[in-house]
Structure 1
Amino acid sequence: MLQKENISDQELIAMCLRGKDAGYTGLYNRYARGIFNSISRLVAHSAEAEDILQETFCNVFSDQKRLMQINSFEAWVRRMAINKSISHLRRKKLLFSDLDNYEFMAEADYDIREDEIFESRVEDVRRCIDELSDGYRTILTLYLFEKMPQDEIALTLGLAPSTVRTQYHRAKKRILVSLKDKAYYE
């Protein structure tokens, strides 16, 4: 049995390249949970997220040439999984509306009181994020959890940067309103 701390990703990759199951298992066990969490924040259904995770790792392990050239295994797999998740959402006809013709809230207009969201319970925030439309949830997740810059999100989703900023701010506002409503009824 392999010990997580004692063997590097490069050693596990070398084992994969030699066809050793322990290399595949070691990499999968090391990263599958975190990658699944990234996918499931984008794709609401856990069965679909599991399918994307499996497809991602199958593609990773079948691309031997690329596997030999990887500097950061986790970053490569996470990026591949996010791209597969976004493709999945597009196949489901998820539409990201382009809001170039609409006003959007500038950073200068940001209300610091919106940070009250962080005083809420984590479960409530998760529930509110899950209740967002797919478009809002995708942009919020990519920005907050995957630490993807808004310009990169715009490029990845084929949107104007102003649309990404607008949808991000609207998503935060919806979460805040939902949390305030929940607090009111408690």
Structure 2
Amino acid sequence: MNVQQHERIARIKQFSRYLYVCLTWIRYFLWVMWPLVAVAFLFGHKATLKIGLIQIDDVELSIVQRVLLVAVVSAFMFLALKLVYHFRELIQHFSSGDIFNKKAIDHARKALLNGLVIYALYLSTLLASWIYVATQSTQTTVSINADFILVLMFFGLMYILLWALEIGCDLNEESELTI
């Protein structure tokens, strides 16, 4: 292996360590924000909310609505914490230079799955808000948002990278058996 590749690997390891620290701080931030947001939704007096197409300005929320909001936010926070955990563990494998192994691939797969579930939760809140607006209004407007195309491209790219990791793991196992 030439010197240029050693330098590149060292830079990848160093950047992975920085990313690992950043993900650790994001994890701490999510753990702190989760109860604060829940308390704000449960015990706040008035709220201005925008969920999808719905905007509620300075309206007193019932306890049922508050509990429903806390449940949705808690589901999102739980999935976000799991996503950060698995991505952090994957980056830890990168920072140690042990990329092509089954544990790293398992963490990558679980991070992608949690990301897809978060996006499905987002889509379901958009659908619920659209249904709510459609039932409350006499005039129905349908807005088309092309963000889902970008999300499909992003998750498609991430699955291609996951498959590349799996192929690299298989090649790594074969080379170990050959030696």
RCO comparison, higher one (Cα < 8 Å, 6+): 2
| Higher normalized strand content (fraction of residues) | 2
Q: TM-score normalised to the size of structure 1?
A: 0.36
Q: TM-score normalised to the size of structure 2?
A: 0.37
